Amino acid sequence: NSKNTNVQEALDKLTLQEKIRLLNGVGSWYTSDANGKLPAVMMTDGPHGLRKQGKEQNLADINDSIQSTCFPTASCVANSWDLDLIHEMSGAIADQALKEEVGIVLGCGMNIKRSPMCGRNFEYFSEDPLLAGSLAAAYIDGMQSKNVGTSIKHFCCNNQETRRQSSDSIVDDRALREIYLRPFEIAVRNTQPTTIMASYNKVNGKYSCLNKEIITDIVRGEWGYEGAVISDWGAAVSIADCIKAGLDLAMPDSGGYQPDMIQKAYDEGYITEEEINRSAAKVIELIQRVANNPKVDVDYNEHHQLARKIAANSAVLLKNAGVLPLSDKQKDIVVLGQMADGMRFQGGGSSHINAFTGPNAIDSLKAAGFNVH
């Protein structure tokens, strides 16, 4: 297998210290270049648009990123049940990633909507494992068809935001496999996503990033996953244990702390060079897979029209008592609610897109010839 040969050749050229450094990110968004021996790959947040922060951006401000198309959120597109539409959307996001020299878009989000109070439900597809897994597979396939990497998240049982960095998801084996793991299993078996992002929370008493039963025994052993397992940003607690359990890349840069901890564990005989090599090889494979992509031109107006099409095809009308569509005779309309003016078309947090401006609902109704009160 030429892929394995290329990875092994690159691995053989690295010192132990360079291999260890490869297991931790550089800055907020990059992989290590191993002292110039490898290309550095950039990853950025997604999943419903590109949230790239360049050198001129304030990294501490998650709302400060380059302008990009804000596509409808997962909670919206899932209502379409349209795999082709989601494939088209992720392909467009991939084109914008290629334009901006981004190798991996951190998405899609695909946790189960277990509680209506989960702060990131808008980033997740469904309460249903089959629907979530099927849509995720279409998303991954669309993006990876352009050779842009994906990162399915947040693995696993990360079904609330409240105290997500210390919460313990206690779940029996049947529910775990039939509900919470199933979407990820569908995605992995059908598409081999570039990376899987391990979550902050504990699962049955063990942090996801060092939970060998989940990230190695099930994902690699049972599902045949071949990609890299990366940590959510700051989720790799006790890095040597994480690497031993099957984590490959801890993000973001820890300022030397995590490489020092891996070196110490190696010096004390707790972790072997074989274990370090296994993870380093996965990172090299990841880099070789998405580095050196060609830049492409993007028609942002075309992408805006695509976002409109997706939103329209995802709208669900629960009841219509003969009111819609509005007739030409109904020239006067009363619009209630602040969101008609300041429209809410996305959530906040790490997926917040610095979107291009567009008309709001009131402007659109006026443009269609209505008198709006």
Nearest to 289 by CA among 225, 223, 228: 228
On the question of a cis peptide bond just before residue 209, with omega within 30 degrees of 0, the verdict is no
Q: What are phi and psi of 185, to 5 degrees?
A: -65, -45
Annotated catalytic residue within 95, 141, 232, 241: 232
Burial state string for 160-171 with b = 16 or more CB within 10 A and e = fewer than 16: bbeebeebebeb
Structure tokens at 241: 């244990």
Query: How many C-beta neighbours within 10 Å does residue 63 have?
Result: 12
Q: Is 45 a catalytic residue?
A: no
CA distance 158 to 181: 11
Which amino acid does the sequence have at 91?
G
Which amino acid does the sequence have at 141?
D
Spell out the residues 6+ positions from residue 240 whose beta carbon is closer than 8 angstroms to its own: 261, 262, 264, 265, 270, 271
Catalytic residues: 232
